Structure 1
Amino acid sequence: MIDDDIPAEPRALTATKGLAGTLFREDLDPFSVEDLTARIEALEAETMRTRNALTAKKSQRSAADALFSFKG
């Protein structure tokens, strides 16, 4: 059954599981302006933390690739 009131979500968002998947589908109507502002700040902080973790992982991977590279 298709519900026309629910906007279609990109496949990447619908495939996301756990808390992140829940955040994408959460109804924001009950939240106040202050709640939404605080939510945005928290999500931006988490995005930065995630980006820093990703950068660190990429750096570790590059270091491991360089260490175990047997080229030339």
Structure 2
Amino acid sequence: MKHHILTLPLNDDQFRDLTNALEDYRDYFLRQAQEASLGFGLDAQYWSGRAEEIEKIRTMVLEERE
């Protein structure tokens, strides 16, 4: 898998917007996983895996900020 390195000069508001957007994206995947467990759409494991991927990205962003 190809890796991308991003350098983003963000002010505090932009940084919060980015982390909030990642949280919203993660939460969307978690809701999809819940619906999938009820028999709708793709497998719940798929959506849970996507949520985990987004959480890893969010964690990397937060760690880089420190």
Q: TM-score, normalising length from structure 2?
A: 0.46
- Higher share of residues assigned helix: 2
> Which has the higher relative contact order, 1 or 2, with Cα contacts under 8 A spaced 6 or more apart?
2
Higher alpha-carbon Rg: 1
Q: TM-score, normalising length from structure 1?
A: 0.43
